Structure 1
Amino acid sequence: MRLTIVGCSGSVPGPASASSSYLLEADDAAGRTWRLALDMGAGAMGALQRFCDPRDLDAVLISHLHPDHCADLAHLDTYLKYHPEGPFEPVPVYGPFGTSKRIQQMAGADDVTDKLPCTVWQASGETRIGPFLITVEAVRHPVPAYAMRIEGPSEHRARASAILTYTGDTDECDGLDVAAAGADVLLSEASFLTTDDAPAGIHLTGLAAGEVAERAQVGRLILTHIPPWADCPSIEAEAARGFSGDIALARPGMRVEA
C-alpha cells in the first residue's frame, strides 16, 4: 500500500495545506492499481489532482461529516457531472449515516446525486474494495465518527500484507485502540497540546497520540490534522514522550509505503 498526504491541515485549510485528505493506492494480483481517498476536506479536490485524476478513484471513505473532512465531496460531484470528457462512472462513497444528505446540502442541490452513491458505515463491519479490506470502529467525537483500519498488499517483500489505521477525528477511546492494534502505520490526528486545556471528547493531544501508538505497538506514527495555528514541533515532541517508535509529521505530498 502507498499513502500520499493530499491535505493534512486540522480544522481549517492552512496556507500550505488543504484540510484532511489522503490517497491510498495498492496493486492487485493482476497489476491493476486501486485508489481510495480517505476523507475529502476543504481544498482537497484541487490538491488531489496533483496525484491522480479524481475519475480514477475507486471509492471515497469518509470518517465523519465535519466540513474539514467532507466539504470537497460537493466539488467531486461537480467534476464527475460536468467534466467535458464525461459521462463518468459513479464513485462510491462510504461514510456515516447522513452522508448522502450532507453532499446534497453542500452542493445546494434539490436531489441526491447519482455520481456519489453512498453506503453507511457499520461499526466493526468489513468492506472489501479491490485488494483493500476495510474495518471501521466508532470513535469519540461530537458527531458520529469512525477510525479506519485498512489491510492491503504490502510494498515490502518480507510480508504479504500491511495494515494502515487512520484515526479520523477522535479523543482516546476503546474503538481507537481496537482500530490501531498492531498497525504498520498509524495516521493519527494530534490537534492539541496537553497545555492547551482543551475540552475532552474532541481531539487527541500529541502525547495521547503517542500513547495510543505505544499501546497498539504500531510500526510507525504519522501525525496529522494539526491546525495551522498550532506548534508542530511541540506536538511532535509530546508524541515522542508517549511513543518509542518512528514518528513523522504529515506534510502535503509526503508518501509512505506500508
Structure 2
Amino acid sequence: MRLIVLGCSGSGPGPESPASGYLVEAGGTRIVLDLGNGTLGALQRHLDPWSLDGVVFSHLHADHCSDFASLVVHRRYHPRPPFDPGVARLPVHAPAGAHDRFARAYAPTAAELAETDLTDVFTFHDLAAGGTCRIGTGADQIQVRAFDVVHPCPAFALRVEHGGRVLTYSGDTGACPGLVEAARDTDLLLCEASWPHGDHNPTGVHLSGREAGEHATAAGARRLVVTHVPAWYDRDELATEAKAAFDGPVEVATPDAVFEV
C-alpha cells in the first residue's frame, strides 16, 4: 500500500497544511481516509477525484469531514464527468448519521435540507465497531475494520489491510485499549498527537506525543507516523516525545508526504 498525506494539521487547517485527510492506494484501488478542510484541493495534486473508489470517515468532526461538501459539488456539477455519477455512485463508509450531517453542511436551511438527498451520487454505509468494509475488487480489494476509540463524538480507529500489509489510522482519540487493538502488529501506525504530555490535558479527547509512542509500543507496531499536530504546537517536539516511548522508527506527517506500507 501507499499512504499519501493530503493534510495533517490538527483541529483545523494551518498555514502549511490542510486539516486531516489521507489517500491510500493499493493496486488499482484508491480510497481516502477523512476529508478535512482543504483536503479536496490537495487530493487533486495526486489524483483525479473521479478515480476514487471509496471514502472512509473516522468520525464526523469538521476538521475531518468538511470537504465532503465540496466533493458533493464535484460529483454533481462537474461539466465533463467521465461516467454517469448517478450510476457509479461513490461508496461512503462513516459513523451512523453521516448522510444527514453532510446534507446539512451542503443545504443549510430547512427548506433546502428537505429536498436534499445525497444518495443521487453516493451510497452511504454505517461503520460500527468491529465492522468491516471492503472497497475494490479481486486482488486490489482494500479491507477496512473499525475499532471504537475514545473521543467526544462516535469515533473509530481504522485498520486498513491489503496484500498482507496493515496500515492503522488512529483518527482522533484519547488513550484507550481500542487503539491498541486496532494497531496490533501493524506495519505503520498513523497516529494523532495533539499536544505535549502533561497532567493538565483533558482526558478522552486526544493523545500526547508520549501517549502516541506508548500506544505504538503496546500494539507492537513496526513504524509510527505522528500526525494531527495543531498549528500552535511543534510537531518535532511531539515526535521526540513519541520516540522516548517507542523504540521503532518515528516519522512526522507533512503535506504531500508519501509512505510505503
TM-score by length of 2: 0.92
Give the CA RMSD over aligned residues. Answer: 1.0
Secondary structure of the equivalent of 1:194?
coil
- How many Å apart are 1:173 and its aligned residue? 0.9
**1:107-118 alignment, distance < 5 Å:** 107-108=106-107, 109-110=112-113, 111-113=116-118, 114-118=120-124
Match of 2:189 in 1: 186
Q: What are the superposed Cα offsets for residues 25-71 of structure 1, whole Å, 9 maximum, x if unpaired? A: 011xxxxx100000000111111100101111100000001000000
1:68 alignment counterpart: 63
| Residue 231 of structure 1, CA deviation | 1.6
- 3-state SS in 2 of match to 1:176: helix
TM-superposed deviation, 1:196: 7.2
Whether 1:140 aligns to 2:164 is no
Summarize deviations over 1:93-139 as a string: whole Å, max 9, x none: 10001100111011014212122221000211122212211110010
- Measure, in 2, the Cα distance between the counterparts of 1:21 and 1:2: 14
Q: Given the superposition, is the C-alpha separation of residues 203 and 237 from structure 1 closer, same or farther in structure 2, using an over 3 Å criterion?
A: same
Tell me which amino acid in the other structure corresponds to 2:11.
Answer: S
User: Paired residue for 2:208?
Assistant: 205
SS at match of 1:219: coil
CA distance in 2, matches of 1:129, 1:194: 37
The total of aligned residue pairs comes to 246
The residue aligned with 2:126 is 120
2:27 maps to 1:24? no
The answer to whether 1:151 aligns with 2:150 is no
* SS of residue in 2 equivalent to 1:100: helix
Could you tell me how far apart the structure 1 residues matched to 2:168 and 2:132 are? 14
Query: What amino acid does structure 1 have at the position aligned with 2:123?
Result: P
Partners of 1:135 and 1:149 within 8 A in 2? yes
Aligned to 1:54: 49
- The letter for the 2-side match of 1:12 is G
Q: Which residue of 2 aligns with 1:157?
A: none
Aligned mates of 2:90, 2:64 — CA distance in 1 = 17
Where in structure 1 do 4 or more consecutive aligned residues deviate above 4 Å?
A: none
Please state how far the C-alpha of 1:200 moved relative to its aligned partner. 0.5
Residue of structure 2 equivalent to 1:104:
103
CA distance in 2 between counterparts of 1:54 and 1:142 reads 30
**Alignment-derived partner of residue 238 in structure 1:** 241
1:100–1:117: 8 Å Cα contact kept in structure 2? no
Q: Which residue identity lines up with residue 112 of structure 1 in the other structure? A: D
| Alpha-carbon distance in structure 2 between the residues aligned to 1:107 and 1:256 | 33
Corresponding position of 1:156: none
SS of 1:92's equivalent in the other structure is: strand
Question: Is residue 63–residue 145 contact of structure 1 (8 Å, CA) maintained in 2?
Answer: yes
What is the CA deviation profile of residues 198-221 of structure 1, one whole-angstrom value per residue up to 9, with x for unaligned ones? 110000000000000011111110
Gaps of 5+ in 1: 28-32, 154-160
Aligned to 2:80: 85
Q: Which stretch of structure 1 is more off in the superposition, 233-242 or 203-212?
A: 233-242
2:254 and 2:29 map into 1 onto residues whose CA distance is 23
Please give the alpha-carbon distance, in whole angstroms, between the structure 1 residues aligned to 2:132 and 2:60: 20
Deviation at 1:232, TM superposition (A): 1.4
Unpaired segments of 5 or more residues in structure 2?
none
1-structure distance, mates of 2:18, 2:49: 16
Tell me how far apart the structure 1 counterparts of residues 198 and 149 of structure 2 sit (CA, whole Å).
23
Aligned-partner Cα distance in 1 for 2:143–2:32? 14
Equivalent residue, structure 2, for 1:158: none
